[in-house]
Amino acid sequence: MSKRIIPGFHLTLGITITMLSLLILIPLASVLVYSLRIGPAQFFKVVTDATVVAAFGTSIIFSFIAAVINTVFGVILAWVLVRYEFPGKRILDGLVELPFALPTAVAGITLSKMYSTTGELGAPLAKLGIYVSYTHLGLTVALIFIGIPFVVRAIQPVLEKFNPAYEEAAYILGADRRVTFQRVILPELGPAMLTGFGLAFARGIGEYGSVIYIAGNSAKEHTQVVSYIIMQKLNYLDYGSATAIALVMLIISFLLLLFINIVQVYQSRRTSGVYEVASQTTGDALPQPQAGRYVMIAVSVAFVLLMLVMPLLSIIRNSLSKGFAFYLSSLDTQYVKSAFAVTLIATVLTLIVNTFFGLVAAWVMTRFQFKGKQVLATLIDIPFSISPVIAGLSFIMMFGRLGWAFPILEKINDTFGTDIQIVFALPGVVLATIFVTFPFVSREIIPVLNSIGTDEEEAAALMGAKGLTIFRRVTLPHIKWALIYGMILCTARALGEFGAVNALSKTRGVTFTLPLEIDALYLAGDSDSIVAAFAVSSILVIIAVFVLVLRNFFEHSEKQKMAGA
């Protein structure tokens, strides 16, 4: 390998691997180690238990169904967003991202309420004999909600770069719209569809916050999902079973990640070298049946209204259902204030750590070639595809009473006379939040850094600029918007993290975050508490909408900059 011109390889690689190991891999390995400790016989007994098998069945089957539905609507939505111009298109584009920005617990209670027999949609449906909340149908609806952006965002860029000449070539050779779609467009979209499907599927299998309220969690009805079972075992302090089930889940996630990676390798085998940028729009003489176009737009708008906008409005309506005074008073409690403070601390710390990691990791992943890069990329992405509950479990198995690091922690406390607590204390909440949002910033920066190439940095390095100067003066201006967007997304997710924190935080008013407070209020069950839950949720909704607007703004200004260049 030639000498690297761009500085910082060893340093950034070192930091990346160290942070990845400390924050993700070692905690995850703790789960593995503990689950192996219980012995094969016990392990086998746990994972073949009827309830557990049923939960795996439920999670897999309904995640699969939801992912299939999302793939169909994802293609339609992506197509409409890329190919058609119509008023409100940018709003539609922004709304697709809502499930990324909305806390899962908020989505969960909202969908559950909306589809209950007294809810906005549940009531009319119940009259027709269709029950959604606490059934498999409800579970599927929640999984569709959280999965849709994965598919749309996987397909959209491919479609944007899709050269219209392919369609025209087929059309000149006599192919009609159907044949062109089947034989020319679909193969091009195939890998992106599979990637989106895989991501939505993986996310669905591990999903916790958005499904537990609506799924019913009944062993008899087979509406328990795997994350719920793990959480239940944790609550019974049955760590052996929890880790055994988590291990199986990890293996499934890993296989799915592997599948996605293979798909992407296959895709680059066919497309590398014949990559081309769409240079023009399709000709006006190509048949574009107006009717088909309106149907597509209508379907997309209806889907987004029903699946994404209705829940949003429902939150606002519910939160104000007892008047504005009640709304304000329910925000003004000791619990909410404490939760707000905890959430804020966790979010700020997470943002600092993950932004630092994101920049360093993006630098090493895009500026250097080295052995094992692909493996490293996959490892960094792990938090995307595993259940947040497992993230929480990991820290319990590391720092908890049974964890291997617990004696070390005790020793430190003994020696220094300190009282550092991690599990069920603020540090645990912070660590869990960092874990689940770990790749958010790097994921936004990496594609931008890849697309701008290394020429400018090499030029600066040859002129003698030092690493930090190069980064500040040459690189940073290019990635500014991507960085800001990654940070915003990271903030939104950190504010809303539920599953992981839920496993690690037990004391309301002390270590509860806003989503946990919402959970506590909602589960209290009386009508005042439920309205209060929605009131607290509405704060997170406002933040989510704010995030969407910012995203839209940044993306737009980015596109304008590109168009000007």
Partner 1 sequence: MYVELKNINKNFGDFQASKDVSFGIEKGRLVALLGPSGSGKTTILRMIAGLEKPTSGDIIIDGRRVNDLSPSDRGIGFVFQSYALFRYMTVYDNVAFGLEILKTPKNQIRERVNELLALTDLKGLEDRYPNQLSGGQRQRVAFARALAPNPSLLLLDEPFAAIDAKVRQELRSWLREMIYKVGITSIFVTHDQDEAVEVADQIIVTNKGQIEQIGTPTEIYKTPQTPFVSQFIGQGTVIEDYYRLRGFEKGNYKGAIIRPEFVEAFKNDNDRFADVVGISEKGTITDILFRGNSLEVRLDVEGVQLVTHRSLERRPIEIGEVMNVIIYRVYAFDDERAYLLENEELKKKDVNNVHLESYLYSNEGYFVV
Ligand X SMILES: Nc1ncnc2c1ncn2[C@@H]1O[C@H](COP(=O)(O)OP(=O)(O)O)[C@@H](O)[C@H]1O
The residue (of 273 and 525) whose beta carbon lies closer to partner 1 is 273
279 lies in the binding site for partner 1 (CB under 8 A):
yes
Binding site for ligand X (CB under 6 A): 280-281
- Pick one of ligand X, partner 1, none as the site partner of residue 168 (Cβ within 5 to 8 A by kind): partner 1
Residue 429 Cβ, how far from ligand X at the closest point, in Å? 54
**Is the distance from CB of 363 to CB of 507 less than 8 angstroms?**
no
41 lies in the binding site for partner 1 (CB under 8 A):
no
Specify the DSSP class assigned to residue 288. Answer: -
The residue (of 1 and 173) whose beta carbon lies closer to partner 1 is 173
284 lies in the binding site for partner 1 (CB under 8 A):
yes
- Pick one of ligand X, partner 1, none as the site partner of residue 32 (Cβ within 5 to 8 A by kind): none
Which one, of 550, 518, 515, 546, lies nearest residue 533 by Cα?
518
Query: Could you tell me how many residues make up the chain?
Result: 565
- Pick one of ligand X, partner 1, none as the site partner of residue 525 (Cβ within 5 to 8 A by kind): none
- Pick one of ligand X, partner 1, none as the site partner of residue 173 (Cβ within 5 to 8 A by kind): partner 1
Residue 161 Cβ, how far from ligand X at the closest point, in Å? 17
The residues near 333 (Cβ < 8 Å, ≥ 6 apart) are: 532
Q: Which of residues 181-220 bind partner 1 (CB under 8 A)?
A: 183-184, 187-188, 190
CA distance 218 to 229: 11
258 lies in the binding site for partner 1 (CB under 8 A):
no
Residue 282 Cβ, how far from ligand X at the closest point, in Å? 8
Residues in binding contact with partner 1, number by CB under 8 A: 31
130 lies in the binding site for partner 1 (CB under 8 A):
no
Residue 164: which region, alpha, beta or left (left: phi > 0; alpha: psi -120 to 50)? Answer: alpha
Among 1, 41, 50, 274, binds partner 1 (CB under 8 A): 274
Question: Which residue type is seen at 278?
Answer: A
The residue (of 270 and 559) whose beta carbon lies closer to partner 1 is 270
For 323, counting Cβ atoms within 10 Å of its Cβ (0-12 exposed, 13-18 middle, 19+ buried), the class is exposed
Judged by CB under 8 A, which stretch of 37-45, 274-282, 383-391, 474-482 contacts partner 1?
A: 274-282
- Pick one of partner 1, ligand X, none as the site partner of residue 166 (Cβ within 5 to 8 A by kind): partner 1
| CA 51 to chain centroid | 27
Residue 503 Cβ, how far from partner 1 at the closest point, in Å? 44
468 lies in the binding site for partner 1 (CB under 8 A):
no
Residue 173 Cβ, how far from partner 1 at the closest point, in Å? 4
> Other C-beta atoms within 10 Å of 165: how many?
15
DSSP 174-224: T--HHHHIIIIIHHHHHHHHHHHHHHHHHHHHH--HHHHHHH---TTTT--
The residue (of 286 and 295) whose beta carbon lies closer to partner 1 is 286
Among 5, 11, 53, 169, binds partner 1 (CB under 8 A): 169
Q: How many helices (H) and strands (E) does the chain have?
A: 30, 0
Residue identified by tokens 């700020």 is 348
Helix axes 26-37, 239-271, angle to 10 degrees: 130
**Is the distance from CB of 318 to CB of 113 less than 8 angstroms?**
yes
Q: Which residue is nearest to ligand X (CB)?
A: 281
129 lies in the binding site for partner 1 (CB under 8 A):
no
The residue (of 177 and 478) whose beta carbon lies closer to partner 1 is 177
Radius of gyration of the chain (CA): 24
The residue (of 48 and 280) whose beta carbon lies closer to ligand X is 280
Contacts 24+ apart (CB under 8 A), 286-292: 286/167, 286/168, 286/171, 287/171, 287/177, 289/177, 292/177
Residue 164 Cβ, how far from ligand X at the closest point, in Å? 10
- Pick one of partner 1, ligand X, none as the site partner of residue 131 (Cβ within 5 to 8 A by kind): none
The residue (of 279 and 369) whose beta carbon lies closer to ligand X is 279
Whole-number Cα distances in Å, 390 to 33, 343, 398, 490, 549: 14, 20, 12, 19, 32
Give the footprint of partner 1 on this chain (CB under 8 A).
163, 165-166, 168-175, 179, 183-184, 187-188, 190, 269-274, 276, 279, 282-287
